[in-house]
Amino acid sequence: MTPLWDWDTAVADWTTAMQAAGRSPRTIRLYTCHLRKVIRECPDGPASVTSTDLRYVLSAGSWKPETRKSVRGSVTAFFRWAHGAGFIPVDPAHGLAAVRVPAGVARPVPDDVLHDALARADERDRTMILLGAYAGLRCMEIARVHSRDWDGTGLYVTGKGGKTRYVPVIRMDLRRALTACHGYLFPGQDGGHLSAGYVSKRLARALPAGWTGHTLRHRCGTAMYAGTRDLLAVGAVLGHARPETTRRYVRLPDDALISAVKAAA
């Protein structure tokens, strides 16, 4: 074990290990951000951290269950790696209880709300709405759309974890916008693209109160499932690794629910 393995060295070593493993810059930033929650509580170094410390960190934050689960995953990954590499004698994250995430209920933007927002939006906001509602893109993915991602039929979308998926584009108005694009579809002021946060704010302003860019993805997932009943295909378009995740984005079609209730009557 390295006796002077302080937090600065630990974060630098772990960042190098994640880069070597092909982790995306976004994933590395997220993991190290989560680890800093432990660093604030245990400044004396990784070897000083106990299981009790980690349980305190995970219980102290007023986070949503999804965030708590994500923090646990990052912390567990760090200490598993540190122990396996011989930097610490004991893995304090071993045996941490799993974080339960309640099954969510999809909340798709209703079609009348969507159509009204499209009619009122300017060209830029309208294109953002279309990418969320009809292609299922996340705000960060909408922000990064580039002409090189468009092949005339669909988009190559790089999402969470640096994973790339292919999303066919059917709507002709969206196809025209992508075909006319040269460079970033939503350029920023510094030669790059708009931030995901700015796209999220614009979508929230373009939609009525209570509806967001995320509920546009719910609308896309719900509509795709209603038309196909193929959860795997829906997950592939949305960029999900597990069907359980996709299930949270899909509200079962009314006809299926009505048939179920009728069958019980």
**What separation in angstroms does the CA of 208 have from each of 69, 115, 120, 159, 186?**
30, 12, 11, 27, 22
Q: Look up the CATH architecture of domain 7-84.
A: Orthogonal Bundle (1.10)
CB 218 within 8 A of CB 249: yes
Confidence (pLDDT) at 35: 96
Q: Where are the beta strands (DSSP E) in 90-236?
A: 154-158, 164-168
Nearest-10 crossing angle of helices 123-134, 196-206: 100
* 170-193 burial code (b ≥16 CB/10 A, e <16): eeeebeebbeebeebbbeeeeeeb
Confidence (pLDDT) at 9: 93
Handedness of CA 75, 79, 82, 88 (dihedral sign): positive
Q: Do domains 7-84 and 111-260 have the same CATH topology?
A: no
- Domain ranges across the chain: 7-84, 111-260
Handedness of CA 186, 207, 120, 130 (dihedral sign): positive
Confidence (pLDDT) at 133: 97
Per residue of the chain (265 residues), what is the pLDDT tens digit?
445 689 999 999 999 999 999 888 888 999 999 999 999 999 999 999 999 999 999 998 788 888 999 999 999 999 999 999 999 999 999 999 999 887 778 999 999 999 999 999 999 999 999 999 999 999 999 999 999 999 999 999 999 878 899 999 999 999 999 999 999 999 988 889 999 999 999 999 999 999 999 999 999 999 999 999 999 999 999 999 889 889 989 998 888 888 888 888 8
One CATH from 3.30.420.10, 1.10.443.10, 1.20.1200.10, 3.40.1160.10 for 111-260: 1.10.443.10
Confidence (pLDDT) at 2: 46
Confidence (pLDDT) at 1: 44
